[in-house]
Structure 1
Amino acid sequence: MRRTSNTIRTRRTVKTAAALAAGALALSLTACGGDDDKSTGNGSGTGTGDTGSGLSLPKLDGTTLEVAAVWTGSEQANFKKVLAEFEKRTGAKVTFVPAQDPIINFLGSKIAGGSPPDVAMLPQPGAVKQAVDQGWAKPLGADALKELRKNYSQGWQDIGKVDGKQYGVYYKAANKSLIWYNAQVFENAGASEPKTWDELLNTAQTVYDSGVTPFSVGGADGWTLTDWFENVYLSQAGPEKYDQLAQHKIKWTDPSVKEALTTLAQVWGKKDWIAGGASGALQTEFPASVTQTFTGGDQPKAAMVYEGDFVQVNIADTKAKVGTDAKVFPFPKAGGTAPVVSGGDAAVILKDSEGAQALATFLASPEAATIQAKLGGYLSPNKNVAISSYPNEVQQKIAKALIASGDDFRFDMSDQAPQAFGGTPGKGEWKDLQDFLKNPTDVAGTQRQLESDAAAAYGN
């Protein structure tokens, strides 16, 4: 994940985090107290196929499995530790297959060559739907369904369904409505955490006046720009319009889109506010956008970086410590709604076998998620993962707010779109917003291009 890793897309929309937004805004993510939530989910492997919480897995000695995902770096390394635990419990041998974005194209090539992975981690609801439409995805079996129903809210189950049948286990979630900042820069500048868009602009000016560029933007990865847009749009236009635009029931030439782009231009249009200016941002990939915010002490390349809870994986690559050096605040309200956008990655079976079904069952369990939760930079929608499993108080607050939201959340808009529009580098919304970052005065032209690309992708 991008991304949720940080990601192809159905037209199903689920409700937004009214509760999550309220929780995120009510809690101070930078001054977190301890958490006494001790919900279940700390099973320990015995290597016998049985766990403390009653999860039973078959013995799979001699079975080999492949799991494909776009994850790299620490995210990939941490997930491999989860797979290693599955190997220990079952005797199976699991190989991680690095995939490229867009993963549907990667899987298409593998399937055409006769060598599909057993399981793929698909980073968009639309990817799940497309895999079903292509006849690639296999429904979850009884054991995986049992585990899913026990551990997930109905909303997280539903976004893994296509035509009423369950295909996906959302192993990984993301709160994509957070802005992370260099605490020392803020302290030196006398800047405070903003709660509204106007306050964000004032904070940015205060930081700029102190001699530090306010924002780091990973514009080389177009998905970061869609996330910026979605937060502003959800806040200003509200959930109903958000749903309509996500399903292309209103056009991108709608006045609500003009308002959101005009608002974004208040940041993107100030070249001195973005590290490297627009041209520099368009050459900065997401991981670098984070690390350059938290290296260089109190003189980093930028003071703030927008993205989800998974930013912590990249902060870990610096010497900064989350909660002290690196702090976070909810994405400020740009309108009447406190925006909270969620994302996620779903495990989908491509080769229906006892081993693949067992792995999906394991990934739906609190045992699997707890392993990665303890390693940091990860958020699970599994409600039976103990909040105390997360390694720091900031992450615990984010996780607690996600679970408290229940079924009330909005999924990433671009992740609901067809791949050609919302999920392909150099095309569609990703490219159009990169062009807008380059020239944020051309609101009308950007709207026309977005609508042209959306209409072609949606077929309407």
Structure 2
Amino acid sequence: MRTSRTMGTRRTLGRTSRIAATLAAGALALSLTACGGDDDGGGGGDKGGQQDGGKDTAASVTLPKLDGESLEVAAVWTGAEQENFKKVLAEFEKRTGAKVTFVPAQDPIINFLGSKIAGGAPPDVAMLPQPGAIKQAVDKGWAKPLGAEATKELGENYSPGWQEIGKVGGKQYGVYYKAANKSLIWYNAQVFENAGAAEPKTWDELLTAAQTIYDSGVTPFSVGGADGWTLTDWFENVYLSQAGPEKYDQLAKHEIKWTDPSVKEALTTLAEIWGKKDYVAGGASGALQTEFPASVTQTFTGGDQPKAGMVYEGDFVQVNIGETDAEIGTDAKVFPFPSVGDTAPVVSGGDAAVVLEDSKAAQALATWLASPDAATIQAKLGGYLSPNKNVDVSAYPNDVQKKIAEALVAAGDDFRFDMSDQAPQAFGGTPGKGEWKALQDFLKNPKDVAGAQAKLEADAAAAYGS
């Protein structure tokens, strides 16, 4: 799994406080245990009025017959995430008679789509990973507004905030099929038990747990630094908690500079982990060669002597844990990203379905992806989180995922979207450039806070045109 970054919006919605409070009040308990779940990938038939668990929801989505129609869907998804999404597409094929082909895209997806469109072979639908990418696709004339049926389905199943971030110029273009809670730290339960470490609630407690794990003979953290987006996520959580939502919004829109003292404070805080000798598996050079999936699997393989005891990232980590022998909730546990300031951070992300070829089949697929029927299929398979409020939480396969989903739905419109997802592509979403590269360089040399700030500001100013 990866989470790509492309050009950003100038809008940040909601408030962090209520979702953070929801989590802190117990949506993620200190010791979450796995429970049995239905792993069936099926989504039911064309009719019906209930989701799993007997909860009354909107009737199953009505789709047109599309026998003989074919369409393509592009996304930068790999591994289990891609395979699970293909099961959702297979159910669409079953219900409509259409043939759907998944097209693997490269990061950044806007560049990939540009090449496909220039070659006269655009996909019918693309999964775009942030609000700004939708805006860019609209500005280029690629994206087509959602039709009446897709818009109706979206309105029935999504809170106003999740609908709003899929709009450009007041028109609905995106269906946020997938969401992410990117404020979680996953840990090897045996490592914590052997070391006598406790789940931390504050940054200072996190540092104490890390030292305890280090003293037990295990490296505390695994960092997938080869993927620059993981480093931006680290920064965003520290910054949101430490500087607060108002500053977060200002920095996201480049209304304050990256040379601001609040950025210095956040980078200095990050250096307490990134710059601590032997706290990161493989050291800085090793982390910079470690891609995100490996950063997860190396935390949960090797018995009680893995390469690291903890790994930071969102709820989608479960997909990669599933590639190991670790059982989520027993061997692999999770706690909310600790509070650095007064409030624990909660950063959200997501992927939206956008129609590029305005056909009956493409609009029907957008309608399908806006339905609880589609989301329920992937929810059952794990490693996925839907902002669709009519997906019954019983569809999620374990207590960890259920609690995360409950918190997301309970938060309604109170969330902060990933900051780098709001930045122009050149700054927040291109491998080897901008924020990704600056933070990779900072991971390599965490003592150079001023140098990192200067580089971040220079790249941001160029990208934002300010």
Kept in 2, the 8 Å contact 1:8–1:423? The answer is: yes
The aligned residue for residue 325 of structure 1 is 331
Residue deviations 1:205-252, cap 9 Å, x none?
Answer: 000000000000000000000000000000011001000000001000
Kept in 2, the 8 Å contact 1:16–1:341? The answer is: no
Kept in 1, the 8 Å contact 2:31–2:333? The answer is: no
The aligned residue for residue 420 of structure 1 is 426
Kept in 2, the 8 Å contact 1:8–1:416? The answer is: yes
Alpha-carbon distance in structure 1 between the residues aligned to 2:355 and 2:9: 18
Alpha-carbon distance in structure 1 between the residues aligned to 2:6 and 2:323: 23
Aligned partner of residue 349 in structure 2, secondary structure: strand
Alpha-carbon distance in structure 2 between the residues aligned to 1:235 and 1:169: 29
Aligned partner of residue 204 in structure 2, secondary structure: helix
Alpha-carbon distance in structure 1 between the residues aligned to 2:356 and 2:204: 48
Kept in 1, the 8 Å contact 2:230–2:292? The answer is: yes
The aligned residue for residue 155 of structure 2 is 149
Aligned partner of residue 278 in structure 2, secondary structure: helix
Alpha-carbon distance in structure 2 between the residues aligned to 1:96 and 1:34: 32
Kept in 2, the 8 Å contact 1:87–1:93? The answer is: yes
Question: Of 250, 254, 258, which aligns to 1:252?
Answer: 258
Matched, 1:17 2:11: no
The aligned residue for residue 31 of structure 1 is 31
Residue deviations 1:54-94, cap 9 Å, x none?
Answer: 41100000100000000000000000000000000000000
2:77 partner letter = W
Alpha-carbon distance in structure 1 between the residues aligned to 2:396 and 2:352: 20
1:21-420 matched pairs, under 5 angstroms: 21-27=20-26, 28-32=28-32, 44-46=43-45, 49-52=46-49, 53-420=59-426
How many Å apart are 1:7 and its aligned residue? 6.0
Alpha-carbon distance in structure 2 between the residues aligned to 1:409 and 1:2: 21
Kept in 2, the 8 Å contact 1:63–1:93? The answer is: yes
Deviates more, 1:22-31 or 1:136-145: 22-31
Alpha-carbon distance in structure 1 between the residues aligned to 2:400 and 2:60: 30
Kept in 2, the 8 Å contact 1:43–1:367? The answer is: no
State the identity %. 81
The aligned residue for residue 38 of structure 1 is none
Aligned partner of residue 31 in structure 1, secondary structure: coil
Residue deviations 1:139-178, cap 9 Å, x none?
Answer: 0111011110110011111111111111000000000000
Residue deviations 1:417-437, cap 9 Å, x none?
Answer: 000000000000000000000
Aligned partner of residue 244 in structure 2, secondary structure: helix
Kept in 2, the 8 Å contact 1:30–1:394? The answer is: no
Alpha-carbon distance in structure 2 between the residues aligned to 1:277 and 1:159: 38
1:188 partner letter = N
How many Å apart are 1:44 and its aligned residue? 4.5
Alpha-carbon distance in structure 1 between the residues aligned to 2:423 and 2:431: 14
Question: Of 427, 446, 449, which aligns to 1:443?
Answer: 449
How many Å apart are 1:337 and its aligned residue? 2.3
Aligned partner of residue 179 in structure 1, secondary structure: strand
2:452 partner letter = T
The aligned residue for residue 462 of structure 2 is 456
Alpha-carbon distance in structure 1 between the residues aligned to 2:277 and 2:141: 47
1:336 partner letter = D
1:120 partner letter = A
Alpha-carbon distance in structure 1 between the residues aligned to 2:21 and 2:33: 18
Kept in 2, the 8 Å contact 1:173–1:342? The answer is: yes
Matched, 1:2 2:2: yes
Alpha-carbon distance in structure 2 between the residues aligned to 1:50 and 1:142: 20
TM-score normalised over the length of structure 1: 0.96
Decide whether aligned partners of structure 1 residues 44 and 429 sit closer, same or farther in structure 2, where only a CA change above 3 A counts. Answer: closer
Kept in 2, the 8 Å contact 1:7–1:344? The answer is: no
Decide whether aligned partners of structure 1 residues 127 and 97 sit closer, same or farther in structure 2, where only a CA change above 3 A counts. Answer: same
Alpha-carbon distance in structure 2 between the residues aligned to 1:358 and 1:161: 19
Matched, 1:432 2:438: yes
Decide whether aligned partners of structure 1 residues 34 and 286 sit closer, same or farther in structure 2, where only a CA change above 3 A counts. Answer: closer
How many Å apart are 1:271 and its aligned residue? 3.1
> Which stretches in structure 1 are left out of the alignment for 5+ residues?
36-41
Alpha-carbon distance in structure 1 between the residues aligned to 2:33 and 2:313: 23
Root-mean-square deviation over aligned CA pairs: 1.5
Alpha-carbon distance in structure 2 between the residues aligned to 1:16 and 1:215: 30
Decide whether aligned partners of structure 1 residues 440 and 417 sit closer, same or farther in structure 2, where only a CA change above 3 A counts. Answer: same
Alpha-carbon distance in structure 2 between the residues aligned to 1:343 and 1:25: 20
TM-score normalised over the length of structure 2: 0.95
Kept in 2, the 8 Å contact 1:29–1:327? The answer is: no
Deviates more, 1:89-98 or 1:23-32: 23-32
2:90 partner letter = A
How many Å apart are 1:25 and its aligned residue? 1.7
Q: How many residues align?
A: 451
How many Å apart are 1:2 and its aligned residue? 2.4
Kept in 2, the 8 Å contact 1:390–1:396? The answer is: yes
Alpha-carbon distance in structure 2 between the residues aligned to 1:252 and 1:402: 30
Alpha-carbon distance in structure 1 between the residues aligned to 2:465 and 2:98: 43
Alpha-carbon distance in structure 1 between the residues aligned to 2:135 and 2:363: 19
Aligned partner of residue 407 in structure 2, secondary structure: helix
Aligned partner of residue 92 in structure 2, secondary structure: helix
Kept in 1, the 8 Å contact 2:191–2:213? The answer is: yes
Decide whether aligned partners of structure 1 residues 297 and 162 sit closer, same or farther in structure 2, where only a CA change above 3 A counts. Answer: same
